[in-house]
Amino acid sequence: MHITDIATRKHSMPLATRVWLIGYMASLPYINPRRIRAGLLLRNEMWIEGYTSNTIPGYDSPPENGPSGAPIGWSMRTFRELAAEAICQETKSGLRKS
């Protein structure tokens, strides 16, 4: 899957957020989607509490939690897909060994 594929698929997570996360993940020496998701959930909670330095690209206001306790579109599946895209981009650019 390429970033253009991610852009054309229907997602609840804004494109700007997905692109930002892929870039962030690609900069890491080791990608752990579960930890990245946990960190983003914490960042969202801090934004809800008024810490405006914790805004999330792609959102004008903190996304509300859905029935699962996380914002809609923030499933582990989504984060695994984003991690795979980050690894794919880094492998193609030669910055990461496959």
Can you give the pLDDT at residue 11? 66
Question: Mean pLDDT across the chain, nearest whole number?
Answer: 86
Residue of 13 and 1 predicted with greater confidence: 13
Q: What is the pTM of this model?
A: 0.80
> Is 98 within a domain?
no
Question: Residue 35 pLDDT more than 50?
Answer: yes
> Is 27 within a domain?
yes
> Is 51 within a domain?
yes
Q: How many CA atoms lie within 13 A of 52 on its CB side?
A: 1
Give me the number of domains the chain comprises: 1
> Is 43 within a domain?
yes
> Is 34 within a domain?
yes
Can you give the pLDDT at residue 29? 87
Domain residue limits at 32? 3-93
> Is 55 within a domain?
yes
> Is 63 within a domain?
yes
18: nearest Cα among 35, 48, 50, 40: 40
